Structure 1
Amino acid sequence: MLLLTVLSTLGVLYYGWFLWRPENRGDMLPWLLVITAESILVLHGLAAMWTILVGYRDRRDWTYYATRAALYDSDDPEIRAHLGDARQWPLRIRGRVVDVDILITVYGEPLDVIRRTAEAAVAVRGRHWTWILDDGRSDEVQALARELGCRYVRRLSGGGAKAGNLNHALSVAKGEFFLILDADFVPLPGILEQTLPFFDDATVAFVQTPQTYGNLHNFIARGAGYMQSMFYRFVQPGRNAFNAAFCVGTNVVFRRAAVDDIGGIYTDSKSEDVWTSMILHGRGWRSVFLPETLAIGDAPDTIEGYSKQQLRWATGGFEILLTSNPLLTRRRLSVDQRLMYFVTATHYLTGIAPGLLLFVPALEIFFDLRPVSLGIGIGQWFLAYAGFYVLQVLLAFFTLGSFRWEVLTLASASFPIYFKALGNVLIGRDQAWSVTGAAKQAASPFNFIIPQVLTFVLLAATTAVGVWRDILNSTMAIATVWCGLNTFALGEILAAPEPRTTPHTLVLAQVHSEAELPAGQRVRTRPGTASRSEESPS
């Protein structure tokens, strides 16, 4: 991993140097398109490499394991009274019993999805209270909560969306710590045992764990799910070194006092998670990212679901960039934190960049305008290009265990979503809240990819013209090949099948066995069973 990261960093630097050399510059318009798009990609590539190289280390130190081993006091009468039911065992930090709430946010998801998550939340080890926060105001969900023994909260208004739902619940739930779960994220039994020990440090505001998906059954779901693998496996852990790991909205445990200190979860954005994290960091609180799968959920598996998810996330990111730029904000952030949040706020510009590059080959085919000088040989161009892109692909190959074509294809075809998100923020248009897997009749997928369809038609026609031109000239131009690959990639999205039903199937055993009790603990729900995370802390 380190070797590939170093080589990728060198490749990124060489490619940036190649593009900016004046003697390599071609015609102004295509050169500006390329230099704008590739500069965004190069800067974000360097930021990712820097974060991985500088920051990656396991945050579970001696204090963590000591606190984890002492979570349960086997001499406690309550434990002795409920020896076979770990759900009733009091949780202790520094010898003091702490109260924990599990908050499941609900907004119209299918009842079986909510049941699956709520049953798993109730079964989490350690004494806690499970709450269903129903912004969908469903009597069926209320009946389900009563059946499962969960506490049920329904508010009269929907102000503040998910953040408002959480803040309302916190006026009723009074636990010292609370775990937030989206309705489609099923927690493993040991989620509290793995996260609470970090709170031995009184400055830790929240502990975030990854979003891992169990429904990667089609092209869209695999692309959407694997797209985040690098971030959760290497970038977020690296941000621990800068105290800049941020909340992603689910699978996160908060300290109640920290949230109270900033007046509650931030409500004026659809990216309430990132805003809340930035405000907490500005107040001097610390965060921890634990790269351990402790809950498994559903990735969007339809074009509609993916488009709405990315639009909401991108709108929130651009809101931060344009209304509270991390480099300029007066919040008391360190230089490292400002840089990390700036990378976060500008992340979705990397989704716009492919949209700019799609039209560069057309400028050459129709107008004979080239981004690089005709004096650049094919070998030199390929060395620079491969030094950036091929090494990025190799790094992704290593990260995922295999190269995922779905990720590259989906990312290259998502540019209209990010253009729309940027436009929403610039003109102040509010983006309606939507949830992955909400129970409603799906619209035609083509309603959400009209720009991609039109672009596909344009690129296909351009490729045909390029092939005809190359036949007449008895040579194959790079622009024609480039345009053909772009056409093929967009065609993959248009041909992606939509599932007739959403199976919501999770194979928990394939991702993790149960997160077992702390090492050395005398009281176990399964005597003799060792923790997989203890055998291999990574």
Structure 2
Amino acid sequence: MRRFYPDERRTRDVEPSPCRRLGVNLFRRQWRGAKAGMINDFLDFIEGKPKPGFSFHPFAEKKRTEKEKYIFVFDADMNPFPDFVEPLVAIMEDRPKLAFVQTPQYYSNFELNRVARAAGLQQVVFYEYICEGKSIGDAMFCCGTNVIFRREALMDVGGFDESSVTEDFATSLKFHLRVWSSAYFNRVCAFGLGPEDLGGYFKQQFRWALGTVGLFRTILQEFFRHPFRLTIAKWWEYFLSGTWYFVGWVFCIMAYCPILFLYLNVPSFFARPEVYFFFFLPYFVLSMAIFLATLHLRKYRVKDVFQGMVLNAICFPVFMKASTLAMVGVRGTFAVTPKGQSRALPLMALWPQLITAVLSFGAIFWGGLRLYYEREPFSAILVNMSWCLYHFLLFSTVLYFNFPEERG
């Protein structure tokens, strides 16, 4: 196995001594295309077709005897375990049409940081539930790091897709359209750092949402042009993934419907409250109970799971902005999630969450006045007051996460 460090810094004034000391080959080139552009330029280099402006420092003692069959990709802050190679190569060798195998991301900076811990629990739900299901249906998409690629497959699709800020998701679609398969291996092969404050977390989520929803437009175009290139099940998985970040609009609508009813008497649904409770409560309680019970079996605490869910909810303005920009064709630029620092955002940067919390609290008070003076519709007012209390508590937690460093 040969190790390469693709250095994509815009300046080259840093000495390559760490690579020399560790015996890692150093590849540099003129900056373009961020991470996807770097990997594509590196692929061209090892294919013997380097682009102008590159430099290569062969610090590894091992000489190249044949073309590399597989390529591992890790983000710069990821630390692979010594035994990560063998099981992944074995899976690839056993399945010749497998384009890549994705492994989980694990955040190691969760112990004293609220944002990193909650973000890590979101990763748990994604990797230990969603990815397992997608892999069974051969619809797993690449997550950009901690992944092994078949070099032949990468060359077959023309390398990474540089048109999206979520190049991993976009390239996965290209693999599947070219009849390559994908898989997920639920074993931690590397650990790294998660976002450590709301600024870093919002930046990360904005990029993911912008790229994923932006690719949804491509998914729709491909579906109408070539509906039979993927199975219905795979198209469905891509539709689900491509539209997930519209959940920000769902959070917003659900938060403001009870506010509008209590302040302005604008109804959000027309069923009797008793019927609503009869159908909604059993569904909500049963689904949450099953979900939390399975996480408990995997040794996760309910408290931490709720923190992950709450952090996702307070991100609704970020999802709304990103999905809107993506649908009108804004591509965005690749930006690295800040690590190794924890800073509180100014309260003005959190105005959507705080205004929603304040309006919800005011609606509770106003609903109490309506109950006292109007009395009818008693059940409907009570239901909407309950939702406003829930949303007030939910969005107030933005202050808790804005000071992520835990003491003691």
Give, in whole Å, the separation in 2 of the partners of 1:343 and 1:297.
28
Task: Report deviation, 1:471.
Answer: 4.0
Q: 2:330 aligns with which of 408, 429, 432?
A: 429
Instruction: Sort the Cα spacing of 1:388 and 1:354 in 2 relative to 1 into closer, same or farther, 3 A.
Output: farther
Percent of residue pairs bearing the same amino acid type: 29
Distance 1:483 1:353 in 2: 15
Please identify, of 489-498 and 159-168, the stretch whose mean Cα deviation from structure 2 is larger: 489-498
The residue aligned with 2:61 is none
Q: Which amino acid aligns with 2:244?
A: H
- Matching of residues 74-113 of structure 1 within 5 Å: none
Do structure 1's residue 354 and structure 2's residue 258 form an aligned pair?
A: no
Within the candidate set 343, 352, 355, 2:240 is matched to 343
1:480 aligns with 2:376: no
Q: Aligned pair in 2 of structure 1 residues 498, 375: CA closer, same or farther (>3 Å)?
A: closer
Alignment of 1:362-511 (within 5 A): 362-373=259-270, 375-377=272-274, 380-401=275-296, 402-403=301-302, 404-438=305-339, 444-446=345-347, 448-473=349-374, 477-499=382-404
Once residues 396 and 416 of structure 1 are traced to their aligned partners in structure 2, the CA distance between those partners, rounded to angstroms, is: 26
Aligned counterparts, 1:116-515, within 5 A: 127-137=1-11, 139-140=13-14, 142-157=16-31, 159-173=32-46, 175-200=68-93, 201-216=95-110, 217-325=112-220, 327-330=223-226, 332-373=229-270, 375-377=272-274, 380-401=275-296, 402-403=301-302, 404-438=305-339, 444-446=345-347, 448-473=349-374, 477-499=382-404
Is the alpha carbon distance of 1:153 and 1:417 closer, same or farther for their aligned partners in structure 2, counting shifts above 3 Å?
same
Question: What do the CA deviations read for 1:288-325 (whole angstroms, capped 9, x no partner)?
Answer: 11111111122212101111111111111111212332
Q: CA deviation at 1:463?
A: 2.4
Q: 1:156 to 1:441 in 2, by over 3 A?
A: farther
Report the alpha carbon displacement of residue 376 of structure 1 after superposing the two structures with TM: 4.0
**3-state SS of paired residue (1:449):** helix
Deviations, residues 196-249 of structure 1 (Å, cap 9, x unaligned):
011222211111111122222332222222123222112212222322111110
Question: Is the Cα contact below 8 Å between 1:307 and 1:417 reproduced in 2?
Answer: yes
Distance 1:469 1:136, change over 3 A: farther
Give how far 1:473 is off. 4.9
Count of aligned pairs: 372
SS of aligned partner of 2:144? coil
Moved more, 277-286 or 129-138: 129-138
Instruction: Describe the SS at the equivalent of 2:226.
Output: coil
**8 Å CA contact retained: 2:360, 2:388:** yes
Aligned-residue offset at 1:144:
2.6
Give the 4+ runs in structure 1 shifted more than 6 A. none
Alpha-carbon shift at residue 268 of structure 1 (Å): 0.3
Aligned twin of 1:510: none
8 A Cα contact 1:137 1:154, kept in partner: no
Greater RCO between the two (CA within 8 Å, min separation 6)? Answer: 1
How far apart are the structure 1 equivalents of 2:98 and 2:310? Answer: 39
CA distance 1:465–1:246, change in 2 (3 Å) = same
CA distance in 2 between partners of 1:255 and 1:289 (Å): 14
What is the CA deviation profile of residues 31-89 of structure 1, one whole-angstrom value per residue up to 9, with x for unaligned ones? xxxxxxxxxxxxxxxxxxxxxxxxxxxxxxxxxxxxxxxxxxxxxxxxxxxxxxxxxxx
Note if contact 2:141-2:172 (Cα within 8 Å) is conserved in structure 1: yes
CA distance in 2, matches of 1:190, 1:329: 43
Any conservation in 2 of the 1:314–1:348 contact (CA below 8 Å)?
A: yes
Q: How far apart are residue 455 of structure 1 and its match?
A: 2.1
Q: CA deviation at 1:188?
A: 1.1
Matches of 2:182 and 2:104, distance apart in 1? 14
Could you give the per-residue CA deviations for residues 226-283 of structure 1, whole angstroms, max 9, x where no partner exists? 1232221122122223221111100100011110011111110011111111111111
- One-letter code of the match for 2:337? T
State how far apart, in whole Å, the 1-side matches of 2:137 and 2:76 are.
Answer: 31
Amino acid in structure 2 at the alignment position of 1:491? S
Quote the Cα distance in structure 2 between the aligned partners of 1:493 and 1:441. 15
Instruction: Determine the C-alpha separation between the residues in 2 that align with 1:455 and 1:376.
Output: 24
Deviations 1:377-401 (A, max 9, x none): 2xx4223222332233223313432
Cα distance change of structure 1 residues 426 and 497 upon mapping to structure 2, 3 Å threshold: closer
C-alpha contact 1:230 1:396 (8 A) present in aligned 2: no
Alpha-carbon distance in 2 for matches of 1:384, 1:281: 39
Q: C-alpha separation between the residues in 2 aligned to 1:364 and 1:500?
A: 38
CA deviation after TM superposition for structure 1 residue 445, in Å:
4.9
Query: Retained in 2: the 8 A contact 1:303–1:448?
Result: no
Measured at CA, do residues 439 and 329 of structure 1 come closer, stay the same or move farther in structure 2, by a change above 3 Å? Answer: farther
Residues 445 and 220 (structure 1), Cα distance of their counterparts in 2 relative to 1, 3 Å cut? farther
**TM-score, normalized by length of structure 2?**
0.84
Provide the alpha-carbon RMSD of the alignment.
2.5
Q: 475-484 or 283-292, which moves further after superposition?
A: 475-484
The residue correspondences of 1:23-38 to structure 2 (distance < 5 A) are none
How far 1:443 moved relative to its partner? Answer: 7.5
Q: Which deviates further from its counterpart, 128-137 or 280-289?
A: 128-137
Contact 1:163 1:272 in 2 (8 A): yes
Q: What is the CA–CA distance in structure 2 between the aligned matches of 1:130 and 1:393, rounded to whole Å?
A: 45
What TM-score results when the alignment is normalised by the length of structure 1? Answer: 0.64
SS of 1:175's partner is coil
Call closer, same or farther: CA 1:500–1:242 in 2, change over 3 Å: closer
Maintained 8 Å contact 1:226/1:400: no
Deviation of 1:421 after TM superposition, in Å, equals 0.8
Taking structure 1 as reference, are residues 165 and 132 closer, same or farther at Cα in structure 2, changes over 3 Å only?
closer
